[in-house]
Each structure stands twice: as structure tokens, then as C-alpha cells.
Structure 1
Amino acid sequence: MRSTEIRSVFLDFFTARGHRPLPSSSLVSPDPELLLTNAGMNQFKPYYLGRSVPDFRRATTLQKCVRTGDLDNVGRTARHVTFFEMLGNFSFGDYFKEETVAWAWELVTEGFGLPRDRLWITVYEDDDEAERLWRRLGVPGERVQRLGKSDNYWSMGMAGPCGPSSEIHYDRGPAYGPDGGPAASGERYLELWNLVFMQDVRDEDFRIVGELPAKSIDTGLGVDRLALVLQDAPDIFHTDLLLPVLETVRDLAGGGDDTSLKIVADHARAAAFLIADGVLPSGDGRGYVLRRLLRRAIRHARLLGVEDAMLPAVTGAVVDLHGTTWPELETARPLIEKVVTAEEDGFARTLRQGSRILDTAIRERRLSPKVAFDLHDTYGFPFDLTVDAARAAGLTVDEDAFGALLEERRRRSRSGRTEPGRGPRAETGTEFVGYDATRAEARLRTILRDGAEVPSAVEGEEVEVVLDRSPFYAEAGGQVGDRGRIRTASGAVLAVTDTRPGHVHVARVESGEVVPGEVEAIVDAERRAAVARSHTATHVLHAMLRRVLGEHATQRGSLVDAGRLRFDFTHFEPLAPERLREVQTRVNEQLLDDPEVRVWHADRARAEAAGAMALFGETYGEQVRVVDIGDFSRELCGGTHVGHGSQAGPVHVLGESSIGSGVRRIEALTGVDALRHQDGERALLTELADLLRARPEEAPGRLRQRLAELAEARRVLERHRREELTAETVRLAGLAKRVGQGWLVVQRVSGVDADELRPLAAEVLERRGGVVVLGTEIGGRAVMVAAVSPDLGAPARTVLASAATAIGGGAGGKGTVANAGGRRAGRLDEALRLAASSARDLLGGG
């Protein structure tokens, strides 16, 4: 059974049992306490805790997940990967253990056709009820094992909902490990499906501190692992979910160490999915997880002897393979290629420098914590790669000693250093001089790399720098940090890509060698002006929403960027299109009145008494900066603005959406970006009108007419198609032959798609009874369906078992109708003969 069918069989099974199918949440976890989504239940945590009440009691999902806790096992075992797909069914205070266990057993044994004598069950050590339920279904007592909290008590790894679990394992046979069940070997007895009986709440110390408001269910079935079993693969990397990617790596490398090949394939897949969900490489958080995966993949590519860029081609293979199931991959294809190319290019130099030192230290058996620290501190060589290389050579690195050296470096950096006549220099305290200027003379005080102070930086290195005074606006209050250039007295140039809170300038050395000293700081003035337009427009939008919707519509977050803005506000229902247009029109009217933008300072009490709004989530000192826009808006604000309202427009609202209970989001374009967007929309309308041979104002009516005509034509075609299929049903029923206890129809058909084949077989069976087997070729694949009369007492998939093998696939389905598919389309006729033979045996016709 291919992965596409695995997904559909599972989701169809639970949808038929009243579960609402819901989309996967992003890998950027919906739970703010998690960096990345690691389970299907993450998006449902508020429902389990009773903080939110859904309008459904049952759900089923196919969820993207990333876990890096077992990173060292990737490529070394059959079952460990970093990215995987998790199928799940969920109950929120509805059904509990009995239904969960029964449905899971039915699906794995009948839906997926796994032999019962190869399945083992584990339950939590004191869960008598779960064991009793499994044994009631016919699982022998010797194949139900009780395990402790580390194996069969599930939580998110943090405070929150949790509960005992029961797992279904598949025995892969003695070639994969010793006897003894799951307690003896995780490689032989492969965990497929974890059923969690959510009932408890834990704190950070794993103490159970209470019960959930209602007993609930959370299950997770790994698509990769089930594919391994159903496709009889030696490991996950040889299933249809990863094999084409692995083969791409092998082709690019010309062979090589199997573990390195698998690590590159796995990490490239995880990286592609992370980037598609908006994660970009960085030095902390989820961005660091991505960077670590990419750098490990690059390191192993070099171990395979590949010196040229490999990741663009490998991630491209990931998109080719998974882009249909996960369309966001195809959408993000250009971004994925750009990110991995840049990361591979930048890391290549680090690898060349660090690898020479590392290889020498390994060869001379002197890989001390000090060497590992120098590699990290001076060359930017990741510590985890040093550990990987050491392990491969049979060496170890004292991680505690390395950590102590790193902490000492950070402590020295935090405490500053002494300069003649100046005394201790603080890490922060930069004077911002950018309200009235976009360039300034300054002194570069500190250069940081990976959080540690370094004496210099050379071309190509990415660093952070601190100045004594700066015209660069540091990210705050929703406004993005400035970009620009820093030029040193010696002629070196830093490209500033961001300015972070604390006035830390994130930069890349474009040329020369950078050392502390006198510099000229130059802000990208055009971008700054575009950001200022967006910030002024945001204030006017905020004030207008309060006037149109009510005083409750207050800011709950914002992003102010060059040419665009995002504004989150409290409101309790969607804005109708006409109301959204009203807000846009009134904002632009207000800006066209050209109100003066005035900035003044006061103590906070006086400012608030004068009606200045303090914004949600912001912190203020006793002295505050107030921004007035005419007599329309007055807010506490530290951001940059235009001088008059007319400089901020026009504003074009792109849309409005919900981002949480009672919180809405508006996204809009400003200034030239708004004009470009409107020009583009006008061009599209003109093109549409030309295609419809109508004037632009007539296009909507003409399009509605054409759509109505198309719908009528489709209805006619569907009626004709039904007539054709009825005729085909009659024709096929007329070909039936009497065999034993009933009639037999085995035919190859053409001109029928996959969705039509199954009902066609069922209708022929209604007319003739017995067994009907139909086969066709679709897109270079063989597809078969078998339908069997209920009175024959056998599942239909038995008719297709040998036929499915012949076409390179497996038979699926339960009851009286089954299907099979495979890539060996040329063997379809042989498969039909095999199916006919099985059908004759079933009918007793010999």
C-alpha cells in the first residue's frame, strides 16, 4: 500500500465514524510553549485543558511533525527520522478507551490488512482496563506487555495534558532482533500507533497535579513506519516517502556511506518542510533547529566526498515527491532553493577551515574541550558537528567542560572590557540618533560572533556589532529594524541586515577586515521612509477601527514594514467586505486631509491624561514619546513617522482574518507598494475583460453568465457520462459466466477513471451477484477493483491478493469491495488472470 492510500484509508475510516477532518497545523507550533509542532495534538491543547470549546467533539488529521530528540539515531536505525507525518484521531470529552482500542484494531487488521499474529500491544503498567479491552478483541495475553512511565505514559514534554497510553507494535521477524516483544527490541517490534488516554494534567516536574475537565483521546500513527511495514521495506528510507530523495543523494554522491546518505536525505526533507512553513536559519529558536539540520546535512555531504552544492537538488527532490500532498512545498520551491543555497555557500568556508583543524586533532587523538571551543569560538564550527566527528572516530568530547568554557566567554562578553581612560564599557547603552538623521559618525565598540566577542571579522562572516551611537532604528513596537551600511575608517564595509532590540546590528562583512574603531553608519533611507509611511498609516488605521467598530477595537499586535503592515485588534466577528471597504476608504480620506504628524514628550501620567493610548504588550518608562496625527490619533510610540498624513498613503487593505478567539488581523499595503498592487489588479481585470470580450465594468456579469453556461454544460456531460456508465454496466453484466455458486465477471476496461471503477464494479455485482473484478491502466499505473457478494462470506481483498503482488502493490479495503494498485501496468492482464483464478476458488468452480 502506497503512502497516498495509507493516508486516505485512515482519514476515510475516521471521517465515516463522525470525525471532522481538519488540516495540518504549521510546523511553527500553534502552542507558544513549543518551538515546533511535534504531535498531532498540539493544535488541540486548549480543547483538552478546557480553555476553549470546539464546535465538534471528534477530529482526524494528517499532521506534519518535527522531532530532533533522537537526532543521533537518524540514519542508524530503521525507524528514526526528524520529519514525519502523523495520522491521528481525537476525542474531546466524547469517546474514550473502548472505542479507541476497538477502532484501532479494526483499522490495522482489516483496513491495512496486518496479520493479527504479528501484532503486539503495550499498555501502561497499572492500566488493567486497557489490557482487558485488547484481550477481549482476541489479542493473546502473552502479546500484551505492561511497561512503565517512560514507555507508556505520554505528555508533550512540558506542563500540560497527559495520560497513560497503549501502543500497537508490529513484529518484523527474528532477522531484526531478539524475541521478547517490544520490551526486548524496538527495531524488531516496530511501534506503529500510540493511543493516548488523555486524562491528567502535569507540571514542569512531571508531577500529576490534577485531572483534565473531560477524559479525551489523542492518537498518533506514523505514516513512515506503517509504509515501512506495508511496503516490506528494510527501513523508512526505502519507502515511497523517502526512497526517491535517498536515490537523488546517492546519485549526486556516486554512492558512499549509507548512514551519511540517509542523514542528508532526512535532514533535507525536514529542512524543506520547515522553510515552507516560514522557518529561516538563525542562531536561536526554531531557526537554529533548521540551521543545525542543514549544517549536519552539509557536513555529511562533505563526508560523502561532495564538494559542490548538493542541498538545492536534494530539497528539489523533496518538493517533487511531496508537493502534491503538501502544496505549500511547491509554492515555496524558489524560497527553499534560495535558503539552502545560501546556507550551503556560507557554511562551506567554515567547514573547510574547521575541518582541517578538526581532522588534525582527531588524527593526533587530542580532541580536547579547548580544541572544540576554539573551533566554535574562532571558526564558527558547530559543536554538535565536532561531537559527530569525534563519535565516528571513536572519541568523546567532555561536553560539560566545553559548556563551562562557553559560559566563561559569555560572562566576559557581558561584563565588558576596559579601555584606557574610559573604564568598563557596557554591552548596551547605544545612543539612538536616528529620528532626525539617517547617517551618523560613531564608534564600533563590540563585534560578536555566535554570542561571543571577537577581535575582528573578515569578508563573508556574519556578525553582530554594537556602536556607541546609531541612526539605525532597533526593532521595537512592531516596527522592523533598519538596514543599511557601516563603513570603517580603513574602508571595510558591513551590510546591516537587521537591527535588533538593544541596538544590536546584525551584519555581514562585504569587504575588508572589520575591527573596533571609528565608523560611519548609513541607514537605507528609502526603506526607512517606506517603513515610516506604514507606521503612520497603522496609527490612522487603529484610530479608524475604533471609530467604525467601537472602542473595544484596540491593538493587540502589529508588524510595521517597508510598504506593508499587519495589524491585530480585538473584535468578535469577521468584518463584512463592505465594512472593510469602508475602513479603507475612510483611512485614505483621513490621510488625504494631510494632518500634521507631531511628536512631543511628557511624563506618562500627563500623556495619558491628554488621551494618549498605551498599547497592549508594550512597556514604557516614566518619560514617554507621544505621536499626534492631527486631532485624529494620539498614541505613545517610539517609532519613526512621516511629517504629514498625505505622505503615508495610499493604503490598500489586502484582507482580514481571525488569528484567535476575539482577535482579528488586517493586512495592508502602503505607498508605492499599494499603487503597484492596485495597478496589478487593474491589469488583471482588463485582461479578464478582454478574454470575456467585455468592458471592465461588464466583466463580473459576463463571467457569471459564462459560469452558469459552464455549469449547465457540466450537468449535461455528467448525465451523458451516467448513461455511458449504465451502458457499460449492462455490457459487463452480459459477459458474466456461471461458475460454481455464482456469476463471474473479470474484465479489463478502458476510459474509466479511478473514482468510477469502484461504483462500476459494485453496480455490475448488483446485476449479477458472485464476483466482479475490473482492471484498468491510469497514468502508467495498474488499478484494480474486486466486488464480492456478501453471501460468499469472504472479504474482497482475498481475490486481489496475488494480483496486487503481480502489479507491484498491495490490496486494501475491507468487506465486499477491495482495490489494488501498482506501477507494473504491463502486468495488468496477468494480474486479472490471477484474480480470476482466486475468484473461481472462492465460487467453488475450481
Structure 2
Amino acid sequence: MRSTDIRSTFLDFFQKRDHRVVPSSPLVPSDPTLLLTNAGMNQFKPYFLGETTPDHSRAVSVQKCARTSDIENVGRTTRHATFFEMLGNFSFGDYFKAEAIAWAWELFTRHYNLDPERLWVTVYQDDDEAAHLWRRVGVPSSRIQRLGMEDNYWSMGIPGPCGPSSELHYDRGPSFGREGGPAIDGERYQELWNLVFMQNLRGEGTGKDDYPILGELPARNIDTGLSLDRLAAILQDVDTVCETDLLSPTFELVQQLAGRAYPGRDGSDDSTSFRIVTEHARSIAFLIADGVTPSRDDRGYVLRRLMRRAIRHSRRLGIDLALPDLTSSVIGTLGSTWPELTEHSDLIRQVVTAEEEGFERTLRQGSRLLDTAITRATSTISGRTAFELHDTYGFPIDLTIDAARSAGLTVDENAFAELLESQRRQAHRASQDKKGDAVARQELHRRIVSEHGFTDFVGYSSLTAETTVLALLTPHGKAQAATAGDEIEVILSRTPFYAESGGQVGDRGELHTSTAKAQVLGTRPGLDGLHIHTIRIQEGELRPGDEAEAKVDAAHRSATARSHSATHVSHAMLRRVLGDHATQRGSRVEPGRLRFDFTHNSPVEITPLQTCPFTGVAELR
């Protein structure tokens, strides 16, 4: 069965069962606690938490996902990937375990025609109900295994929705590993579909099983995820996703450029490199299409790491500067399903070309430093030197080891690993602190919404509003009062202040009560529908519950609106002067000035840009 048919079969099956088809969200999520979209449920998180009421209680989607926590396993196993399409069906307080299990079994055995005798099930160790329901649809007890929290209790890895899960696995046969079911061998008994019975809220913790359960969600929900990659490999009877129609054209191109055939699943370095280059090319194309660019931080670092890993393994296969052609192959294969790939094809080629050429320069520079280290070394290159090459110059450790070996030297790999792990721990702590702050803010906002509801925004029809002070917020939580000189955040029941969005600054103005006068310095969004105002108390004392008058600075609003209009004119003029591929990548809009970020497929000469303002003025006239 072709991948297009696998997708359509899944969507059609659940549409006929009253599910609304919801488009994939981008790989760059709106949730500040997430680096990249990593599950189909991400866009539905507010529904699960009860923050927002959906206008449909059942949904189905094909979601683009990126996961890099297992990047070192990608290519070394047949089941790991850094990008994949997740097929999912969801219930928001509607159906629960019985329907989810019955439908999963029906779809697998009657529509995808998978052999029931090769399907195994895992359930959470205490979930007797799920085990009973699987037996009821026809799975014998001998093929139902109970596993612990690490394997069959799902969460996003951060505080939020969670619940016991049940997984469908497919026995790929003895050539893939040992007998005994998923509990014994995950490579042979490959997980295909995870059914999560989303019913609880988890707290802060580390690992897959080290966190407290804080209580129950407002409703019992269903969240499922089925890997298109893995199902396609089964239905198309191939060993790896690289050999499915999702990636086979790119896989064949890698072999053509390498001048030799893929050796098969033989465990060799070559075999691994063929799979890594192919799989990473897809991830790279999708990340760039969704707005990620290479950098040293956050998701930009993820992209750069993928690109450099793909380049290193290309070099192992004797291929130089291949990413532009490989990502073009991905676009040719998947662009009809995911039009953003085709829409941003010029940008993708530009970014991968620049990064690959830049990495080649890095390798040349690193090689000179490595040559110096080799000349000075007597028997061993220190871990500190290898780490400096890796950290400062991006020089891969495996190339350092290869060069040292050729010179009859060794590398202190243990010292290198210790330095790398120390850096990783520091980065992880910083990331967790950042996530923890965001989660704490979200939880505080969630409590305010549950007590008072969302902010009533009236700023499109009025620049003033009679309102009530609902809460005063500091970085440490709620405050009971604010006095002259204090700078604090305030949440109002009703507001005329526009919240910062899309690069456009929020409104400023004034807030008056019978006992206080405050300057509104800015306005930003909290949870969807919640406005956060940063204020400075000028006179008196402000307390929650105070009645107030809010007034927008009309001149500031008007000047911001002019700058906003100018960004649209700038974009139109840039596309006219440079071409339709000149795409907006960001902006900063404020009174009297704006910044407009755009992409172009080559360095931009100043003369064409100088014509844009005059063209724009003429257009406005």
C-alpha cells in the first residue's frame, strides 16, 4: 500500500466515525515549553487541560513531528527517526478506552489487512480494563504484555497531560531479533501505534517514570499516535523507512552519488551512513520549510546538528556537497503532500548550500589545528584538545580519531566524553530552568483563567474601558499590593490594550483607580485570550479587586499601525523587486520604526533595495 493510501485510509476511517480532520501544526510550536512539535497532541494540549473548549469533540490528523532525543540511534536501528508523520485520532472528553481499542484493531486487521497473529499488545501494568478490552477484540492473553511506567505511561516529558498507554506492536520475524514479545526485543516486535488514555496531570520530574501525578484532568481523553514510517515499511514489505516510497527516491540518489549500492541491514558503518544521510535530508528540508535556520541555540542548533551529521556521513560515503540535491529529492517526493516544501524550495536549497559550504570551511580550519596538535603530541591527543576542536570549531570527534589513528596516535576519548557530558548537563539544566519558568507561568495563568475567565478585549472598538484588577503578578507569583515606584504585571477583567503579537509591540497607556495612578508600559499575551499588562505605579496603591479605568495611548497605537502598514508595503515591494521567493521571516513593528526580516536566495545588492521605498510610496499614492 502506498503512503498516500495509508494516510487517506486512516483519515477516511475516522472521518466516518465523526472525527474532524485537523491540519498539521508547524514544527515550530506556539507552546513555549516545547522546542519542536513532537506529537500529534501538542496542538490539542489546551483542550486536554480544559483551558479551551473545542468546537468538536473528536479529531483526526496527520502531524509533522520532530524528535532528536534518540538522534544517535537514527540509522543504527530500523525504527528511529528524527522526523516522521504521526497519524492520530483524538477524543476530547468523548469516547474512551473501549472505542479507541476496538477501532485500532478494526483498522489494522480489516483495512490495513495486518495479520492478527503477528500483532502484540502492551498495556500499563495496572490497567486491567485495557487488557480485558484487548482480549474482547480477539487478542489472546499470551500476546498481551504488562509493562511499567517507563514503557506504558505517556507524558510530554514536561508537566502537563499524561496517562496510561497501550501499544500495538508487529512481529517482523526472527531475522530481526529474539522471540518473547515487545518486552524482550523492540527491534523485532516493532511499536506501531500508541493509544494514550489521557486522564491525569503530571508534575515536575526527570526521566520517564520519576514524576508525581498531581490529579485528574477535567475530562478523560484519547490521544493516539501511529507512525506512518513504520506502518509503510510493514505494508510495503521493506526493512527500513529509507526503502519505503516516502524516502526511496532520496535513498537511491545517495547510492548513485556514492557510486555503490546499499549493502543491506548488515550492521556495517556504510549501511548506517546510507540510512543517516537519507533520513536526515528529510528532517532538514521540513525544518527549514517551517522556519528553522541553523544557529548555535535551541531549534537552530538541532537543525545544524542534523546537517553536520548528514555531511559527516556523506563524506564517509565519499560524497561532497550533496545536501542541496538530496533535499531537492525530498521536495520532489513529498512536496505534493506537504506544499510548504515546494513553496520554500529556493530557501531550503540556499540554507543547506550555505551551511554545507560553511562546514567545509570549518573542517579545513579544524584540520589545520588538528595537524598542529598531531605534530605536538607524542602518543595521545588530549581530551581537552579534542573537545575544543569539537566545541569551538564544530570539528567532529570521529574525524579527530581517524586523523589521530592515521598518525599512529590515540585520542583520550574518556576525557573528551567527560567534558562533553559536563557541557550537556549544563545545557540541560539551563533548558530545564527555562522550561520550568514557562511551566510555572502557564500554571499561574491557568489558575487565573479558571477563577476569572479570559480577558475581555475591547480594543478594536474603544481605546478606553472600565475594568477590574484581577491579579498582580511578580516573577515569584501573585502579589497583594503594589505601591508607587513598583513595576509589576497586572491582569484586568476587560482591556482596550492590544497584546504584542507577530512582532508588533503591544499598546501602552494609563490605568487609574480611586487610589492609584499607573503607567502601562506594554501588553503581551499569556495563555490564549489572556492579556498581561506591565505597569509602573506612579501614585498611590493598587490592589486586586480595585475598579479601574484603562486608557490606551492613542498616538502610540496610531504610530504602531502606520509601521504595521509599512511592513506589508515593504514585503510587497521586496517581492516585486527581488522576486516572489523573497519571503517574510519575521518583523519588529513599533512606533516610528520597523525591522523586516526576509529570505533571498543570494546576497542582496544595495541598489535594488534602495528602490523599494520609492516604489512603495508610489504604490501608496
Note whether the superposition's TM-score is higher than 0.5: yes
The 5 A counterparts of 1:680-695 are none
Matched AA of 1:376? H
Shift, 1:50, TM fit: 0.8
* Correspondence 1:249 to 2:249: no
Compare CA radii of gyration and give the structure with the larger one. 1
The 5 A counterparts of 1:5-154 are 5-154=5-154
Q: Deviations over 1:769-815 (max 9, x none)?
A: xxxxxxxxxxxxxxxxxxxxxxxxxxxxxxxxxxxxxxxxxxxxxxx
- Over the aligned positions, Cα root-mean-square deviation in angstroms equals 4.2
Percent identity over the alignment?
Answer: 55
Is 1:568–1:666's contact at 8 Å kept on the other side of the alignment? no
Shift, 1:619, TM fit: 6.8
Q: Residue 90 of structure 1 aligns to a residue in which SS?
A: strand
Distance in 2 separating the partners of 1:670 and 1:296: 37
Distance in 1 separating the partners of 2:8 and 2:413: 46
Matched AA of 2:32? P
Q: Deviations over 1:665-693 (max 9, x none)?
A: 999998986874697799xxxxxxxxxxx
Partner of 1:402: 419
Is 1:130–1:166's contact at 8 Å kept on the other side of the alignment? yes
Matched AA of 1:402? L
Find the partner of 1:316 among 328, 331, 337.
328
Is 2:459–2:496's contact at 8 Å kept on the other side of the alignment? no
* Correspondence 1:375 to 2:380: no
The 5 A counterparts of 1:492-571 are 547=462, 552-558=495-501, 566=504
Q: Which moved more, 1:355-364 or 1:97-106?
A: 355-364
Q: Deviations over 1:501-559 (max 9, x none)?
A: xxxxxxxxxxxxxxxxxxxxxxxxxxxxxxxxxxxxxxxxx999575797933232156
Distance in 2 separating the partners of 1:303 and 1:349: 17
Distance in 2 separating the partners of 1:56 and 1:249: 44
Partner of 1:615: 522
Distance in 2 separating the partners of 1:388 and 1:99: 55
Shift, 1:374, TM fit: 2.3
Shift, 1:355, TM fit: 4.9
Return closer, same or farther for 1:679/1:119 CA change in 2, 3 Å cut-off.
farther
Distance in 1 separating the partners of 2:71 and 2:386: 20
Distance in 2 separating the partners of 1:649 and 1:138: 61
Is 1:263–1:297's contact at 8 Å kept on the other side of the alignment? yes
Return closer, same or farther for 1:349/1:647 CA change in 2, 3 Å cut-off.
same
Distance in 2 separating the partners of 1:354 and 1:675: 47
Find the partner of 1:289 among 302, 327, 333.
302
Q: Deviations over 1:592-648 (max 9, x none)?
A: xxxxxxxxxxxx99xxx998641125878999xxxxxxx95259xxxxx99xx9997
Q: Deviations over 1:277-316 (max 9, x none)?
A: 1111111111111111111111112222223x21111111
Matched AA of 1:55? D
Q: Deviations over 1:722-759 (max 9, x none)?
A: xxxxxxxxxxxxxxxxxxxxxxxxxxxxxxxxxxxxxx
Q: Residue 191 of structure 2 aligns to a residue in which SS?
A: strand
Partner of 2:479: none
Shift, 1:212, TM fit: 0.8
* Correspondence 1:218 to 2:223: yes
Return closer, same or farther for 1:125/1:317 CA change in 2, 3 Å cut-off.
same
Shift, 1:353, TM fit: 3.3
Q: Residue 166 of structure 2 aligns to a residue in which SS?
A: strand
Shift, 1:652, TM fit: 7.6
Distance in 2 separating the partners of 1:646 and 1:203: 42
* Correspondence 1:270 to 2:283: yes
Return closer, same or farther for 1:383/1:158 CA change in 2, 3 Å cut-off.
farther
Q: Residue 232 of structure 1 aligns to a residue in which SS?
A: coil
Matched AA of 1:375? L
Is 1:120–1:144's contact at 8 Å kept on the other side of the alignment? yes
Q: Could you list the runs of 5+ residues in structure 1 that have no partner in the other structure?
A: 411-541, 561-565, 571-603, 624-630, 636-640, 655-664, 683-846
Distance in 2 separating the partners of 1:210 and 1:408: 30
Q: Deviations over 1:337-370 (max 9, x none)?
A: 1111111111111123335766987998735421
Shift, 1:372, TM fit: 2.2
Q: Residue 24 of structure 1 aligns to a residue in which SS?
A: coil
Say which structure, 1 or 2, has more relative contact order (CA 8 Å, 6+ apart): 2
Q: Residue 265 of structure 1 aligns to a residue in which SS?
A: helix
Q: Residue 187 of structure 1 aligns to a residue in which SS?
A: coil
Distance in 1 separating the partners of 2:124 and 2:392: 49
Find the partner of 1:331 among 317, 331, 343.
343
Q: Deviations over 1:190-244 (max 9, x none)?
A: 1110000111111112211111111100000000000000000011111111111
Distance in 1 separating the partners of 2:59 and 2:111: 19
Distance in 2 separating the partners of 1:268 and 1:400: 27
* Correspondence 1:366 to 2:394: no
Partner of 2:605: none
Q: Deviations over 1:151-190 (max 9, x none)?
A: 1111101111111111111111111111101111111111
Partner of 1:816: none
Return closer, same or farther for 1:207/1:675 CA change in 2, 3 Å cut-off.
farther
Return closer, same or farther for 1:337/1:123 CA change in 2, 3 Å cut-off.
same
Return closer, same or farther for 1:179/1:383 CA change in 2, 3 Å cut-off.
same
Return closer, same or farther for 1:569/1:224 CA change in 2, 3 Å cut-off.
farther
Return closer, same or farther for 1:548/1:86 CA change in 2, 3 Å cut-off.
same
Q: Residue 301 of structure 1 aligns to a residue in which SS?
A: helix
Is 1:372–1:402's contact at 8 Å kept on the other side of the alignment? no
* Correspondence 1:240 to 2:245: yes
Aligned residues: 485
* Correspondence 1:186 to 2:186: yes
Q: Residue 253 of structure 2 aligns to a residue in which SS?
A: helix
Q: Residue 79 of structure 2 aligns to a residue in which SS?
A: coil
TM-score by length of 1: 0.52
Matched AA of 1:251? Q
Q: Which moved more, 1:256-265 or 1:52-61?
A: 256-265
